[in-house]
Amino acid sequence: MSAGEPVTAICPGAYDPVTNGHLDIIVRASGIFERVVVGVVREPRHKEPLFSVEERVQFLEDALREYPNVEVDVFAELVVEFARRWGARTLVKGLRAISDFEWEFQMHHLNRRLAPDVETMYLMSSPQYSFLSSSGVKEIASFGGSVEGLVPGPVAERFTRLYPSPHEGTPVSPRE
């Protein structure tokens, strides 16, 4: 890294959709690093996104507009290659629970094997977001529940348009 380049970190994820928990980690990282690049995975391999990559980027840009040292970019390569492209030597990930740790532990070692020069930094989720996940938010919204306070306003509004009327859930027993 040359003397003129900002110290950059990458906050990678699918952000399908971005939650207030994601924003908490990104904003906290922006207080540590000179530049934070939020990397949005174009086509996640482990799950089919509900929102288009354009929507996911727009949600993030809208929510992070007041943070001048935060940028949003899309990537479709290995996260360590994305980090190198931006001149970043640190990935920042949030941890909510033990289950997050197990997955992130595996990913950390795979990434270190691919790029020993790229380190991973973990931020513990703030207590009010320790239960929050994109998949949980999608489930709540799909059954007509309110996601206000869990996601940025534009995301909550989009869910309201996506699921205009609540539909009944799965029966809890075969007799129902």
Structure tokens at 121: 């930094």
Confidence at residue 176, expressed as pLDDT on a 0 to 100 scale: 43
d(CA 130, CA 97): 7
8-127 architecture in CATH?
3-Layer(aba) Sandwich (3.40)
- In the chain, the percentage of residues whose pLDDT exceeds 70 is 91
Active-site annotation holds for 30: no
Look over the chain and give the mean of its residue pLDDT values, rounded to a whole number.
92
d(CA 142, CA 146): 10
Active-site annotation holds for 135: no
The strand pairing partners of 148, in sequence order, are 151
The whole-number average pLDDT for the span 121-143 is 95
Active-site annotation holds for 93: no
**Which is catalytic among the residues 96, 108, 133, 142?**
96
User: Do the Cβ atoms of 93 and 104 come closer than 8 Å?
Assistant: yes
Query: pLDDT by residue (tens digit) across 56-104?
Result: 999 999 999 999 999 999 999 999 999 999 999 999 999 998 878 988 9
Q: What is the rounded end-to-end Cα distance, in angstroms, of the chain?
A: 63
Reply yes or no on whether the pLDDT at 1 is more than 60.
no
Query: pLDDT by residue (tens digit) across 3-21?
Result: 688 999 999 999 999 999 9
Active-site annotation holds for 22: yes
pLDDT band at 111 (very low <50, low <70, confident <90, very high): very high
- In the chain, the percentage of residues whose pLDDT exceeds 90 is 82
Delimit the domains of the chain by residue range.
Answer: 8-127
**Which is catalytic among the residues 56, 125, 134, 138?**
134
